[in-house]
Amino acid sequence: MRLTICWLYARTMNIYGDRGNILALVERCRRRGIEAEVVELGVGEPLEPGRCDLFFWGGGQDREQVAAAHDLQGAKGEVLRAEIERGVPLLAVCGGYQLLGQFYRPAHEPELPGLGVFDAWTVAGSRRMIGNVVVDSPDFGELVGFENHSGRTFLGPGACPLGTVRIGYGNNGEDRTEGCRYRNAIGTYLHGPVLPKNPQLADYLIACALALRGRSDHLEPLDDALAWVAHEEAVQRARRERQGLRHFWLLTRRWSRLP
């Protein structure tokens, strides 16, 4: 078995340790005897229908995001939309997630058109939403990651969020929704990177890709003890931050050693 993973704008949109997501996908395939090939697709490079089994799209700086938005206006965007419609799994984080909505409206620059896959839109906010985030997802359980965005994403009536924020900001810091789902496409603000620490999400994407190739058997479970240790560690950090303890951590370390 062989899967082709397409890494959209790998060179320009990979700012938040996004490589970790690719590593998780490839490695989790390999451990199950599935060969995974990663194809990087940059600005100006055409997308062939039916070639890729899974898409990943990361976050980028403003300038790179603008280039990607324009690159997807036209045939390439059409193909990507059709692939998602066909059920090809996709994970988009932060900048990529924003461009899968209807539009992205920056504070001063002209509005960026999105692909419109998600019934969602993003407007620039004045404050950055930064921190560890814990999300409860009906399908994936507890998800943990780190968010860092000033864009505020709002979901339309037809949109399905990835989950509900337990700790952190999520889509907009107001309605406690986080991420968005459509068919097998997932958009989220969780980086950190998200897949190594949430192996169930990685396996979902792989299972979708296999199912599309006619292999709907269950994925063999892997030894994920360490992944859950890292997961729990991140949840603990989020909890501690919420309690505001991090500011006192160093001080308490010192005091504990005084006679």
Partner 1 sequence: MVGMATRLAIVTGRIVAWMMRRSGLGGGTALPGLVALRLAPDLLTRLARELPSGAIVIAGTNGKTTTARLVAESLRAGGVQVVHNRSGSNLPRGIAATFLEATDWLGRLDGDLAVLEVDEFALPTVVRAVKPRLLVLLNLFRDQLDRYGELETIARTWRRALDELSPDATVVINADDPILAELTADFRERRWTFGLEDPAVALPTLPHAADWRLCPRCGAALEYRCVFLGHLGQYCCPGCGFTRPALTVAGQRVRHGSAGLLLDVRWGDRTVTVRSQLAGVYNAYNLLAAVSAGFALGLEPEQLVATLAEVPAAFGRQERVWVAGRELTLLLVKNPTGFNEALRLLESTRRKCPVLIMINDLEADGRDVSWLWDVDVEALRLLSVPVSVGGIRSGEIALRLTYAGIEPQGRYPGVVEALDRWLATLPPDGCGWVLGTYTAMLELRRELARRGVAVEFWAQ
Where in the sequence numbering do the catalytic residues fall? 94, 191
Nearest residue to 167 (alpha-carbon basis) of 228, 98, 240: 240
| Selected binder of partner 1 within 226, 243, 244, 256 (CB under 8 A) | 226
**Residue 20, helix vs strand vs coil:** helix
Give Cβ neighbours of residue 88 (< 8 Å, ≥ 6 apart).
52, 53, 54, 55, 184, 208, 209, 212
Helix, strand, coil proportions of the chain in percent (round to 5)? Answer: 35, 30, 40
Give Cβ neighbours of residue 72 (< 8 Å, ≥ 6 apart).
80, 99, 115
- Which residue number, 166 or 191, has a Cβ lying nearer to partner 1? 191
132 near partner 1, judged by CB under 8 A? yes
- Output the smallest distance, CB 219 to partner 1, in A: 18
| Selected binder of partner 1 within 183, 230, 239, 242 (CB under 8 A) | 230
- Which residue number, 33 or 158, has a Cβ lying nearer to partner 1? 33
Backbone angles phi, psi at 79, to 5 degrees: -60, -45
CA-only gyration radius of the chain, Å: 19
Site string for partner 1, 90-129 (x = CB under 8 A): --------------------------------------x-
- Output the smallest distance, CB 36 to partner 1, in A: 14
Residue 211 C-beta-side C-alpha neighbours within 13 Å: 14
Alpha helix ranges (H) inside the chain: 19-30, 62-71, 75-86, 95-99, 194-197, 199-212, 225-242, 246-255
- Output the smallest distance, CB 57 to partner 1, in A: 16
169 near partner 1, judged by CB under 8 A? no
2 near partner 1, judged by CB under 8 A? no
Which DSSP symbol is given to 193?
A: S
- Which residue number, 101 or 192, has a Cβ lying nearer to partner 1? 192
- Output the smallest distance, CB 99 to partner 1, in A: 17
Site string for partner 1, 8-37 (x = CB under 8 A): ---xx--xxxxxx--xx--x----------
Angle separating helix axes 19-30 and 199-212, nearest 10 degrees = 60
215 near partner 1, judged by CB under 8 A? no
45 near partner 1, judged by CB under 8 A? no
- Which residue number, 63 or 218, has a Cβ lying nearer to partner 1? 63
Cis peptide before 193 (omega within 30 of 0): yes
Structure tokens at 179: 């991420």
Site string for partner 1, 180-199 (x = CB under 8 A): -----------xxx--xx--
Q: Which residues bind partner 1 (CB under 8 A)?
A: 11-12, 15-20, 23-24, 27, 61-63, 67, 128, 130-132, 146, 148, 191-193, 196-197, 226-227, 229-230, 232-234, 237, 241, 246-247, 249-250, 253-254, 257-258
